[in-house]
Structures are given as C-alpha cells and as structure tokens.
Amino acid sequence: MSGFSVFTENSLLKQLAMCRIITLVLIGFTVLTGCKYKSDSGALQSEAQTEPRGAGNLAYRWAKVALAATANNTDLFKPRPTVTSRYLALIHIAAFDAWSRYDASAVPVYLTGVERRPAEDYSLKNKETAISYAFYHVMREYYYTDSTMFLDFMVSLGLDPNNTSIDPASPIGIGNLAARAVIEARRKDGSNQYGDEPGSNGEPYFDYTNYQPVNTPDKCAYVDRWQPKYFADGKGGRFAPSCLTPHWPKVKPIALKTPDQLRPPPPPKVGSEQMDQEVKELVDMQANLTYEQKALVEFMRDGPRSVQQAGHWLIFAQYISVRDSHNLDEDIKMYFLNQCAAMDAFIAAWEAKMYYDNARPYALVHHYYKDKIIKGWASPEKGTVKMKGKEWRPYSPDTFLCPPFPAYVSGHSCVSGACSRALQLYTGSDMFGQEVKLVPGALTELPENFGDTITMKFPTLTQTAEMAGISRVLGGYHVQADNIAGLELGRNVAQVVWEMYKKHVGM
C-alpha cells in the first residue's frame, strides 16, 4: 500500500500521542519519521484579507486533516485501500456539494432541496464555513476514532462543532445538510459499512458474498487462480490473510453506470507464450534490482502508516495546488474529481480482480520454477541469493509479503492511471515536475544494506502513473499484464468520471 504525509507542526494537536512512523512526504518530497500526522490551524479568513492560495486555502487544509485521519485509520485497521478510497471520495463529495450552493453553475451530487444562494452570498467566509461543516461531519462518520482531532480543528477555525443547524439559507446549515445527504445516500451502497447487508455478520465491511478461494495456502490446485499466502504475524507465528473486501464489485460507483462497465479482456493463462515471458521477465527484474528500483518499489509500496493509493494521489493533487497557487474553489473541484476517479477506479479494479480471480507472481514463480535454481531476494538477512523457484518471494517484509487479493488488474496501476489522467484533464497539462530523496532499502532491508540517498524524479503525471505501475512488477507483486491492463482501465475510468465532473461543475 502506498501513502505519504504533508502535515506541519500544530500546538493545538500536540495531545496526539507521538509514535514512530515510516512514511514518505510528497509536498517537498522529504522523508518523515517520528510523529503522528497533524493538521494545521488558523481562524477563518476575514473578508478584508487576501484570499489564501495553495497550502493556505481551507480546502487544502481540510484535505490534510483527512489524510491524517487516513494514516491513523491504517494504524488501527491495517491497510484497506478500497475502504480508504470510499472515505476520501465521499468526504470530498460532501465538501463539493456544500460549496456548490455558493457557485453560479455547480450542481451537487447528493444534496437535494437546498437552493443555490444568491450571488451576494458568494463570500469566501460563507464557502469556508459551509465546507468546514461538511468535512467535519462526514469525517466524524467515517473516521470516528479521530473525532477529537476534527473537533479541535473546527475550534481552531473559530467554528462551533456543536452547531447542528439545518437552515438551508445559512452556510452552517448547508454544510450540515451536505454531510447528511452524503452519509444517507451511501448508507446502503454495497460497501457494507455498517455490517448490515444480508449475509453479513455485523462486522463493518464484512464479505457478505462468502467468497472462498479455490486454493489453500498450502496447496495450489488451480495455478491460474489466486492462492492465499502466509504472512509473519510479528510474534513468531504466521497466518494467511483472507481476501480483502471481495464484495467490492457490489459497491455503487460514483460515475460508472456499473462496476463491470469497463471490464478489461481476460489475462494471459499459465502455459501461454505471454505468461511464460512475463513470469521470466519478473524473475529477472527482481534478481537484478538496482538501488533506484528498490527505492521506487518502496516509495510506491510504503510502510505501515500508509494512506494508500487514493491518499497518495490526493497528495499529488495537493502538490499541484501549491505549484499552481490554487484558491479554495479550484481545490474543491480538483479534489472532487481526483477522489471520485480513485474510488471508481478501485471499484472497477476489484470487479476485474474478483471476476478473473487470477494468480499472483508468488504462486506463478513457484509453479514455473519449482525446483529450478534461480536468483531472488530471500530476506533482509540474506539479500539476493540463489534459491529454488519454490522458495522465491516478493521484495517485501515478512509481515506483508504480497497483497491479499487476486492480481488482475493491478490496483496501483488502475488508480494511478485514473488519477493521473483526471489531473491531466483538470490542469490541461501532463506536467508534474516533482522529485523525492529516498534511502533505498529503508522499508525492507537491514540498515547495513541500505543504499546511498538518491533523488527520484517525476517529470509528468503519465510517467508517475507508469512508475507506480512498473514498481509493482519490480517488487514481484504483478506481472506486466496486470500493470498494463490496470493503467488502461484506470485511464478509461477517468474519462467517464471527467464527463460526470463536467456536468456537476456546469462545464
């Protein structure tokens, strides 16, 4: 799972417990360790002040709070990229819906029965107030364990978190109504957020479809199909994680008509020339990883406090906000587009994953190279050595050897393809222009095997998405077919989301 953070120090939130984190920073692209994510503070702007831009606008600052909550949620519940993408999309839809009532042409997604305010009400303060109440209440619903952080941020803005007005003529009422509309509209959207779908056990996000893999962790009877694998539990034992949210193809998308609307063609089968070549390619790549490639794998995989791919691309969008000096209106619209693309891309990717139920390289390499001697990465202690094919593993820690769900298509590739294309469409340019300093091996190797600090460049959005995709092949999580189909699926999703976006912003 991937993720970064961009949070600054804030005395208001220093009651949050300090902890060691391993994550990567995107804005400025620096390495961050040593504390929990924090939001920034500062009262709402007065009308006499110049409108804040970039990192100063309130849409940007609320997005930072959402990312902080996402990282904390990962700590508590482990990486759940599908769930995270839903949270972040719905949070930004609520803010967009509240903001839309102070825009001359925007149309809300879920908010109904609230008239557009007259032009004389389109003040920055009204917009900031409306979006703040929308952000606050939706995040309290989805990231309920961080309610205190959200409350503190509201107080720092000079807003009363306990004001529950639903007056459709006031910015507070509009924000509260926008939050309520999103929460209610998505209550029964197939995600099983409340554990109350027929066939569920009462546990949030429980798989009510009763998916059962055809292979067991100990026996791969159907080599083309997904096989669960054993992870270390960090306590000297091991366990085989069950498939993560296999019911996600039943989640209602935002822009797609159905989850299978853009389903890609079937993946190559074991024994086909394409699969033979792609498994060999993957083994050769992993056996010869350079320090730069290891850094790329780790940058896109990230550590335990990940904000996953949706959050990853939200932070990429935040860099664009700073780069292009966005105001609140521009960020509200860009984050809305960006996160809707991520959510629908995850739904489409999971639909393909569960429909094809395809094998990951972990099992494929064991099948193709079983007792043959190959080179591979054995462990942090052993590094890259000669081994039997049945001993091969991805370049990943024992506690998270490979993602616990089918391979085709790559979720990293699909979401990166979708969000990169969405940001291209929004900005009218493929230019990105960021770079990051990384220590190769820092998330995987022993310290004595770390490489020297390198600088990785991300010149365009397209290249950034392709780097995210190829990182999954280099790391041993996907063959190229998973990556290429994922990028294409994501880009196709973005086009559908873009048409929806144009309708809602009045283009």
Q: DSSP string spanning 320-350?
A: HHHHTT--HHHHHHHHHHHHHHHHHHHHHHH
417-432: average pLDDT? 98
Q: What is the pLDDT of residue 3?
A: 33
Alpha helices per DSSP H over 250-327: 273-287, 291-301, 308-323
- Greater confidence (58 vs 43) lies with 58
The fraction of the chain above a pLDDT of 90, given in percent, is: 87
Instruction: Quickly state the pLDDT bin for 49 (edges 50, 70, 90).
Output: low
CB 102 within 8 A of CB 126: yes
Sign of CA dihedral 483, 459, 84, 24: positive
Alpha helices per DSSP H over 53-144: 58-77, 81-100, 124-142
- Count CB-CB contacts under 10 A for residue 118: 9
Instruction: Quickly state the pLDDT bin for 45 (edges 50, 70, 90).
Output: low
Phi, psi of 450 (to 5 degrees): -65, 150
Q: Which two tokens stand for residue 2?
A: 């991937």
Q: What is the pTM of this model?
A: 0.92
Instruction: Quickly state the pLDDT bin for 332 (edges 50, 70, 90).
Output: very high
Q: What is the pLDDT of residue 21?
A: 32
* 3-state secondary structure (DSSP) of residue 378: strand
**CA–CA gap between residue 476 and residue 293 (Å, rounded):** 12
Q: Which two tokens stand for residue 6?
A: 């961009």
pLDDT of residue 23 exceeding 50, the answer is: no
Phi, psi of 406 (to 5 degrees): -60, 165
Instruction: Quickly state the pLDDT bin for 493 (edges 50, 70, 90).
Output: very high
| pLDDT tens digits along 271-318 | 999 999 999 999 999 999 999 999 999 999 876 568 999 999 999 999
- Count CB-CB contacts under 10 A for residue 190: 17
125-150: average pLDDT? 97
pLDDT of residue 32 exceeding 80, the answer is: no
Minimum mean pLDDT among 39-48, 126-135, 293-302: which range?
39-48
pLDDT of residue 360 exceeding 60, the answer is: yes
Instruction: Quickly state the pLDDT bin for 400 (edges 50, 70, 90).
Output: confident
pLDDT of residue 256 exceeding 50, the answer is: yes
Q: 24: which DSSP letter? A: E
Q: What is the pLDDT of residue 20?
A: 30
| pLDDT tens digits along 373-394 | 999 999 999 999 999 999 999 9
Q: What is the pLDDT of residue 46?
A: 53
- How many angstroms separate the Cα of 156 from the Cα of each of 36, 39, 61, 151, 185? 19, 10, 12, 9, 30
Q: What is the pLDDT of residue 460?
A: 98
| pLDDT tens digits along 57-74 | 999 999 999 999 999 999
Q: Which two tokens stand for residue 262?
A: 């853009």
109-128: average pLDDT? 98
As a whole number, the mean pLDDT across the chain is 91
Q: What is the pLDDT of residue 30?
A: 32
The fraction of the chain above a pLDDT of 70, given in percent, is: 90
Q: What is the pLDDT of residue 305?
A: 67
**CA–CA gap between residue 416 and residue 494 (Å, rounded):** 10
CB 3 within 8 A of CB 74: yes
CB 375 within 8 A of CB 441: no
Instruction: Quickly state the pLDDT bin for 14 (edges 50, 70, 90).
Output: very low
Q: What does 423-474 look like in DSSP terms, one character per residue?
A: HHHHHT--EEEEEEEE-TTTTTS-GGGPPPPEEEEEEEHHHHHHHHHHHHHH
**CA–CA gap between residue 484 and residue 270 (Å, rounded):** 18
Contacts of 318-323 with CB under 8 Å at 24 or more apart are 318/6, 318/26, 318/27, 318/55, 318/60, 318/63, 318/64, 319/26, 319/27, 319/432, 319/434, 320/423, 320/427, 320/432, 321/54, 321/55, 321/57, 321/60, 322/27, 322/54, 322/55, 322/60, 323/433
| pLDDT tens digits along 438-481 | 999 999 999 999 999 999 999 999 999 999 999 999 999 999 99
